[in-house]
Structure 1
Amino acid sequence: MKHIIRITSTLLISLGLATTAQAASYSFSTADSPLYGTNPANFWSSDLNQGWWSSGYDNKNDNPNIVVGDSTNYLYRNFFTFDLSDLSLAPDEVIVSASFSGFTHTIEVAGGLFETVEFFDVSTDAGTLNYNVAANPTIYEDLGTGKSYGSRDFYASESNTNFSMALNDNAIADITTAQNGWFSIGGMLTTLDNSGQPEWVFAFSNEDVAPYKLDIETQISAVPLPAALPLYGAGLAVLGFVGWRKKRKTA
């Protein structure tokens, strides 16, 4: 009986190790590794990897605004870039969740109760993206097309408050691919009513410059469950053999 108890305990401990998962958290900011130094105009006043692009309105590198939407005459889309050089996932480590957070600044709603910002993948390289000089229709288009990372409704009452939103599986897959490198998010206002009235989110963000964050949760299993199945089968076989011997001796 002692042998059976010992074997059973060993088996349960082994199975416990097989299903126990370890979690880890990572946090990245647009304040990490400022990219302005990689371009000729290294005087960006905010030193943050974030900003906006327009298809027809010139920007400049010392403008830390991150407005997205319609300012009567021009349309804007914004971006946020994160240095993931410290993210190096183990072979059996996977990202289980990712969230994007920051400050809303001024929200102007037109023709409804809220404005919706949808976030997308960005194909423009990080250095070019953060060199905010002149207008660029190609980059502007890039910030509002491609794979969606999720969207959020912003109400006027949320002006100048903190917000957080979960990113979807598309974002998680791209973050995984971008580990040890750069990862950018583009933002587009999808509720524009083309009325000519101002409607925007993150407006006047040059008055209170703040970085934005990307938070990641990962999980790693000590021993994958399939690898433990042979051990489980072997343990059952041993238990059966011990029971058979005990019955034979009793007989």
Structure 2
Amino acid sequence: MRKHCKLAISAAIVSFGLGVTSSAQASSITLSTSDSQLTEGYNNQGWWNTYTSNFDYNSNDNDNYLTGKLSKTVYRSFFTFDVSVLKNRPISSATLKIQRFQGSGYSTHTLGLFDVSTPAIALNQKVNNPDLSIYDDLGSGKSYGNFKVTSFGDKNEVLNFSLNSNAIADINAKDEKYFSIGAALLGDLKPAYQYLFAYSADTPVKLVVTTASVPEPLTLGGTVVAGAMGWWIKRKRQAR
């Protein structure tokens, strides 16, 4: 009878030690287009358009992220982030943080955020503007969310765009160093001046992600097992 009791107690202790787990606390990580710059001294961001008339702005040094229509030219922007720090660290949320700067046209615009298939190096070679394939890539494909943005407000205000599950899945699946997001104004762009984020050069865009909680063994469980087993062995020796 005593033997069976000891076995039952030992099994219960071991089960307790092995079964108890805890969750690693979620943490917030801020990524910036200023990290791992592809053109030294300039942020990994900018625009591609359908027609470039002024080649002074058609440069890798121009990290302005103007988005929309200016005269007869339509601009779509991009933001590239070094996500290598997230390797083996799944995320549960992501928020794109963009400074407002200056807008024009309708009182409210719809901003669409999209996945980007163009490699980061090619994307940041803005000197090759215009390129319709890259331009199309920045405003099509998998949607990361559509957002209503007022054209006018404090130019220093930082706007927060909570990315949807498509973006979370793509970030978690990324096995390359860089991850890019495209931005385009949606809807009616017939009037000549319809844009957001004008005069935004030299200001990095940020991506704030929250890492997911991951279950991990609780150290206390192992401690309880070791202590209990030591106590049982000691009692056994004393009984002899």
TM-score range, shorter chain: 0.7 to 0.9
Deviation track 1:55-81 (CA, whole Å, cap 9, x = no partner) reads 222522222211000112100000000
- Equivalent position SS for 2:103: strand
**Conserved in 2, the CA contact under 8 Å of 1:87 and 1:179?**
no
Q: Is the 8 A contact 1:20 1:222 kept in 2?
A: yes
- Give the alignment's TM-score, normalised by structure 2: 0.76
Contact between 1:126 and 1:182, CA under 8 Å: does it hold in 2?
Answer: yes
Structure 2 CA distance for aligned equivalents of residues 202 and 157 of structure 1 = 10
Instruction: State how far apart, in whole Å, the 1-side matches of 2:148 and 2:12 are.
Output: 54
Question: 8 Å contact 2:39–2:61 — kept in the other structure?
Answer: no
Deviations 1:198-227 (A, max 9, x none): 111111213xx210111111121125xxxx
**In the aligned structure 1, how far is the partner of 2:77 from the partner of 2:47?**
4
The match for 1:144 among 115, 139, 153 is 139
1:135 and 1:180, CA in 2 relative to 1: closer, same or farther beyond 3 A?
A: closer
Task: Report the 3-state secondary structure (helix = DSSP H, G, I; strand = E; otherwise coil) of the residue aligned with 1:215.
Answer: strand
Check conservation: 2:31, 2:208, Cα contact below 8 A: yes
Q: Secondary structure at the match of 1:157?
A: coil
- Equivalent residue number for residue 36 of structure 2: 33
For the 8 Å contact 2:44–2:63, the answer to whether it is kept is no
Q: Percent of counterpart pairs with the same letter?
A: 36
Distance 1:141 1:12, change over 3 A: same
Q: What do you get for the CA RMSD once the two structures are aligned?
A: 2.4
In structure 2, the residue matched to 1:237 is: none
TM-score, normalized by length of structure 1?
0.73
Alpha-carbon deviation of 1:157? 3.4
Deviation at 1:193, TM superposition (A): 3.7
| Alpha-carbon distance in 2 for matches of 1:22, 1:179 | 24
> 1:138: how far off?
0.7
- CA distance 1:177–1:20, change in 2 (3 Å): closer
Which of 140, 163, 167 is the aligned partner of 2:159? 163
Q: Distance in 2 between matches of 1:179 and 1:142?
A: 20
**Displacement after TM superposition at 1:120 (Å):** 0.3
Partner of residue 248, structure 1 = none
C-alpha contact 1:67 1:204 (8 A) present in aligned 2: yes
Structure 1 segments of 4 or more deviating over 3 A?
Answer: 3-16
Give the CA deviation at 1:153. Answer: 1.3
5+ long unaligned stretches in structure 1? 38-45, 224-251
* Secondary structure class of the residue paired with 2:135: helix
Size of the alignment, in residue pairs? 204
Distance (whole Å) between structure 2 residues aligned to residue 115 and residue 128 of structure 1: 28
